Structure 1
């Protein structure tokens, strides 16, 4: 027996206690993976020795193996805490520009806007293009705009989800009505003389009145009545033209009362706008001939142009929202819907009576939109923006519009533009998407956290700070995203605890202590044997 066996046992037991102590010390370290000392025996043999004649000379530490079992996941509620549930490591770039890998997901945002670990290493991920939504194929250090606002985006589309009430009646045309009569009232000058005998002759338009009437098509036609005194007392000829030589009628007045005696209703034949004629009666029964004054007024009785009877004002079915120009200035856009025919609605962007519709929606008998889904709107930035920006086009998507028998309602109305805004918060979702929220109300994916895996994780080299680096034994890192293939999923707002089993480690420590004591006893026994040999007489 030699001292070598006992001495080697003391060494490996001491190293085993070191490993156990390291595990116990990191029982509360986020993402820590326990290690295990693995032993191998030492043999002494000479060439040609038979297999049964060799004997052991002790023990050695063959390896200190890391145990990459899953640690418990503890919810923290911190938006930037992330735990990996399954295979994979976070890839980080250390201050010396080298790459490392960690399971500790307690990230932070530094003053430069970089997403970093507790040790200051930058977290790697795949950047997402805010316009296309596509991510990069190569992992980059994740950084966010904390020092300057994001650029404004002009609105390019509006999406509306709404229902137009199917019970609304279409406008009803009201046909034109021709004027049936005109009524003249007033007084003719009783001292007037024979117009033809006067020197010079009295102009025909001296005693006249005018009124407008409607023809059968609703067109406005002017009617003029001229009164010309004859040589007979109390008699007046009535003309409808300054050039006509034939009167349309004659009226006489009672010499005593001054009231009209004959000719109170004179039939007129008027020419319509389409060259056809239509009759109108001139009611002169209310006229008088008294004194030396002239005052006659006239008005039409009945008649109207063709009109459209609307079921409701245009503003009844309307909605509005703000869109943004290229400088991020909000401009209001109004949308109004007016039923024009069975299953048809006109779309307007103004309440002006002269405004033309920007599009027409047509529904089938089931209330489903069959045409008019996409409408182009021309938006004028002024007066909201005084910088003389040109008008810009916005696509109005109404493909989800319906026409059912319920009240007009807008279920959703959104647009894709926004003003400039400052970063307010960052959240990491379970799929690794880093969602950034801005002061303008925009929340969008800016990046996706990258995960790395190795063919042989046991070959990774621990470098401290909860980090490992790849080695020849581990093989190169294989990059991916959470949940893809054999990559684990993420749990946001949580951290992975150390996988150290404290109870097991304490038991292992007692076992290692006993092993140390036993090896010390073999050395003591060997010493006693040597003392016996030395003391032989």
Structure 2
């Protein structure tokens, strides 16, 4: 056995324990870091071949592993933009260098420009939402992603397209009899347009005329948008029109860039009746006037919807998620983010709640998965082992001194 080998073995052991202490220190320092995944040091023996009956001491090597796939507990907050993933997957964020990274740190805060950034300065990414189909994603790449922006469409107006108006026309009124009611519709610029619905008896029993008019508030001139004859059976049920729908013509207001259009509306009147009761009306037309954003909501499947003053909740984005075949082999980077490595496998994109991806919790943060008691125990073990290895080095050094003194 070589005394030099003994000393090198002692140094190897001290270096290994120093590495373990480094991971313990990092874990304890980040015990309260949102989404942090603990590191651990694994030891592997280094054995040198024995020759001539003499034992050659080897040493120990270390390998740092990360418990990225181990989920932490949740802390619930009052902010809707604090996000946590319950299950597998990662948020996709963009750094100041323009590159995309993976993270579980979901403490996002709305910025002045409407984007969402976490405490490390990374911006949350996703896809623009479509009401007709899920956004098309590139399964193995980040193409098509855009920054999620809570100021997108900060002022919105929804033009009217359809509505309903159910009335009871009194069957015991003598001819001629006329009664009117009104509904408000919205044109393409969000202007409110009052439509008047006028019901008049005819000389034929069970028959009424319905006209829909719009009166220009400046000129006071009414314009007929629809005219329909209504017929009822002996039970007071509407039989004409058979479709139970009356359609209005379109209106154009103004000229040039300031022009607006009230598109033709389909008004359902199928529940209109003619019974021996007073005139009554119940109805509504869709659409809304200009309204500002008053808040936002993020669903468990990652749909980001904007709330408006008028009560509308309009989906605008869908949060993108990603995963790899071996999350524990991702490369950790500063800011609690990860990048793909040769051992992690390729990045696969998807959505929350689909294809094995976890659900998104709004108003929650994922805690660090560090166990302080376990780390303190590891620290004490490393301290004792480091001291023991230093004793091996010290003993080898003392024996070397004895050999030197023998020469003298």
TM-score with structure 2 setting the length = 0.79
Cα deviation code 1:226-249 (max 9, x no counterpart): xxxxxxxxxxxxxxxxxxxxxxxx
Give the corresponding residue for 1:155: 160
Structure 1 residues 142 and 418: alpha-carbon distance in aligned structure 2, compared to 1, 3 A threshold: farther
What residue number does 1:61 align with? 62
* Aligned equivalent of 1:42: 46
Q: Partner residue of 2:117?
A: 116
Q: CA deviation at 1:434?
A: 0.7
Indicate the residue corresponding to 2:245 in structure 1: 374
Confirm or deny that 1:92 pairs with 2:97: no
Match of 2:374 in 1: 504
Match in the other structure for 1:327: 189
TM-score by length of 1: 0.61
Identify if the C-alpha distance between structure 1 residues 99 and 67 changes in structure 2 by more than 3 Å, giving closer, same or farther.
Answer: closer
Unmatched 5+ stretches in structure 2: 139-143, 216-223
CA distance in 2, matches of 1:515, 1:359: 97
1:474-519 CA distance string (max 9 Å, x none): 1221111100011000100111111111111111111111111221
Q: In structure 2, what is the equivalent of residue 467 of structure 1?
A: 337
Which of 179, 182, 187 pairs up with 1:314? 179
Matched, 1:12 2:12: no
1:433 to 2:300 alignment? no
Q: 1:527, CA displacement in angstroms? A: 3.5
Q: 2:207, 2:229 within 8 Å by CA — same for their partners in 1?
A: no
Q: Relative to structure 1, is the Cα distance of residues 351 and 3 closer, same or farther in structure 2, using a 3 angstrom cutoff?
A: closer
RMSD: 4.0
The answer to whether the 8 A contact 2:352-2:359 is kept is: yes
C-alpha change, 1:11 and 1:444, in structure 2 (3 Å) is same
Q: What CA distance in whole angstroms lies between the structure 1 residues aligned with 2:402 and 2:265?
A: 105
C-alpha deviation, 1:101, in angstroms: 0.8
Alignment length (residue pairs) = 384
- Distance across 1 between alignment mates of 2:22 and 2:209: 83
Does residue 456 in structure 1 map to residue 347 in structure 2?
Answer: no
What is the rounded CA distance, in whole Å, between the counterparts of 1:398 and 1:10 in structure 2?
86
1:171–1:339 Cα contact (<8 Å) kept: no
Partner of 2:27: 23
Shift of 1:79: 1.7
Match of 2:137 in 1: 137
Q: Contact 1:93–1:141 (CA<8 Å) still a contact in 2? A: no
1:116–1:123 Cα contact (<8 Å) kept: yes
Higher Cα radius of gyration: 1
Q: In the alignment, is the contact (CA less than 8 A) between 1:171 and 1:309 conserved in 2?
A: no
**Aligned residues of 2:195 and 2:214 also touching (Cα < 8 A):** no
Cα displacement (A) at 1:410: 7.2
- How much has 1:71 moved relative to structure 2? 0.9
User: Does the 8 A contact of 2:159 with 2:189 survive in 1?
Assistant: yes
Supply the distance in 2 between the matched residues of 1:364 and 1:128 (Cα, whole angstroms). Answer: 50
Match of 1:394 among 251, 265, 269: 265
Which stretch shifts more, 511-520 or 111-120?
111-120
Is 1:169–1:339's contact at 8 Å kept on the other side of the alignment? no
- What residue in structure 2 maps to residue 273 of structure 1? none
Residues 125-180 of structure 1 deviation map (CA, whole Å, 9 limit, x = unaligned): 111146x46534354222437497546443222256x5x66xx76357xxxxxxxx
Equivalent position of 1:521 in the other structure:
391
What residue number does 2:141 align with?
none
Residues 128 and 136 in structure 1, CA contact (< 8 A), matched pair in contact too: no
Alignment correspondent of 1:349: 212
Helix, strand or coil for the counterpart of 2:295? strand
Give the whole-Å Cα distance in 2 for the aligned partners of 1:511 and 1:410: 81
SS at match of 1:419: strand
Show the 5 A alignment for 1:198-213: none
Aligned mates of 1:76, 1:375 — CA distance in 2: 50
Q: Is the 8 A contact 2:34 2:366 kept in 1?
A: yes
Q: d(CA) in 2 for partners of 1:143 and 1:529?
A: 67
Residues of 2 paired with 1:145 and 1:429: CA distance? Answer: 14
1:534: how far off?
5.0
Tell me if the contact between 1:110 and 1:116 (Cα under 8 Å) persists in the aligned partners.
yes
